[in-house]
Amino acid sequence: MILEIAEIEIKPGLEAEFEANVAKAGPIFARAKGCKGMELRRSIEKPSRYRLFVQWETLEHHTVDFRNSPDFQTWRGLVGHCFASPPAVEHAAQVVKGF
């Protein structure tokens, strides 16, 4: 399992719209090949900063299948205008599980 972590800075005043559009995008992620879950978290200290966490079966399910799909364009159409800057995206693999 691969965890996509996207740090996203939102233009001031567009936070509520961004959150609503991420919620609308739930079905896009639910039907994406290899996607196992998605959640959005908002920073307490920096309220215009969010982290989107998406679980993928493989890296390629995100970087190849999803990014090359029409649904990716739909996703970006929903939220892209809210971005203050391009998201910083990285992928992580679990190496230790706590409890």
CATH value at residue 45: 3.30.70.100
Q: Please report whether residue 8 resides in a domain.
A: yes
pTM of the model: 0.94
Which pLDDT tens digits describe the chain residue by residue (99 residues)?
999 999 999 999 999 999 999 999 999 999 999 999 999 999 999 999 999 999 999 999 999 999 999 999 999 999 999 999 999 999 999 999 999
Q: Please report whether residue 24 resides in a domain.
A: yes
State how far the alpha carbon of 88 is from the alpha carbons of 33, 97, 98, in Å: 22, 25, 26
Domains of the chain: total: 1
Integer Cα distance of 39 and 8 in angstroms:
13
Integer Cα distance of 74 and 93 in angstroms:
27
Q: Please report whether residue 58 resides in a domain.
A: no
Q: Please report whether residue 40 resides in a domain.
A: yes
Instruction: State both tokens at 22.
Output: 């991420």
Q: Please report whether residue 68 resides in a domain.
A: no
Q: Please report whether residue 34 resides in a domain.
A: yes
Integer Cα distance of 26 and 24 in angstroms:
6
Structural domain for 37, as ranges: 2-51+78-93
